[in-house]
Amino acid sequence: MHYHIVDIFFVQESSFSNSGGNKPLLLLEKLQCGWLNQFQDKLIYIFRNDTPTEGFENGVLADADMRRFISREGLNLVPGIEKDDLFIYNDGDELISSEILLFLKLYDGIPNIIAIKYIWAIYGFFWRIQEFVFPHQKHFEPAVLTMQFFRDFYNCDASQIRSANYLVQTTKVELYKKQKKEIGPLNVINGGWHCSWCFTPQGIRQKLIDAPKSDYPRFGDFPGKTDVSYIRKLIKEGVYFDLSRFRNTSEISLSQDPAYAPPFIIQNKERFHYLLLNPYTITGKPQFTTANTNGSFQIQTNS
């Protein structure tokens, strides 16, 4: 989706997970075998082998170390960066609209920070969150910065992007105001898609196990919640790991909203069918019991 717009993609892979477990370099193996070959001319692969200085027990610091490494290491490999070039930071499950990125690339005079509120779904685009139902909220996420701002305020440290730490640097803020450089953020609603836990049940299980220790509650620590059959039930009924419901109504589909998923996903529906249609849909209204201490629960269906 972004190949014709974005000039360089940084992709980072580590020989360990953020919880400290060892892992093979699966991405590197796939790239070497020709995966995404038609896009590799714009891709910079960054290998990270040094473990966090503070170790893995402090999950917040371990996560920050990962984000800091990819930005600083990546930018060191790119010569000739201009101050009005844009640095885009997304988590792996976030995707900004191509139209928005093209607009930001072509037009001058935009603020130095662009924040996105994503269309949020969990397990698949069919379980779009209803904010008045689901107790966990998402807000506008800073996602695009000018390189001048990124250097001036954050020293090219991507772990700072999602914070408001720039506000405490009052001298720099005042200097930007005197120079009539609008900091922002410019908030863009529904500016892309955030599909959390959008994997097969086996992939969700792996993510639960490998999650950093900063995740709280760390659902992977409950054996019942990493059971694949249990995860299938969650996907089927639109229920989060803490048994919160996503919606008061049923799943959504392309017929209800043509923009409910990214165009590339929709155009390749055979490949991504499990993200577009609930693979476990059943007839009947679910009823839930209280979660047990191991994270399991029972579903009863009234036909």
* φ/ψ (deg, to 5) at 208: -60, -45
Q: What is the pLDDT of residue 287?
A: 40
pLDDT surpassing 90 at residue 17: no
Q: From residue 86, how far is each of 70, 71, 76, 142 by CA, in Å?
A: 16, 13, 15, 13
pLDDT in tens, 117-155: 999 999 999 999 999 999 998 899 999 999 999 999 999
Q: Return the SS3 of 100.
A: helix
E strands present in 107-181: 113-122, 141-146
Rg of the chain over CA atoms, in angstroms? 21
Mean pLDDT, rounded, for 244-252: 94
Strand-pair category, 186-196 with 113-122? parallel
pLDDT surpassing 50 at residue 298: no
CB 205 within 8 Å of CB 228: yes
Q: Where are the domains of the chain?
A: 84-303
End-to-end alpha carbon distance in the chain: 42
Number of CB atoms found within 10 A of residue 83's CB: 11
Dihedral sign for Cα 33, 37, 43, 44, please: positive
More confident residue, 210 or 298: 210
pLDDT in tens, 34-86: 999 999 999 999 999 999 888 888 888 988 999 999 999 999 999 999 999 99
DSSP 8-state class, residue 195: E
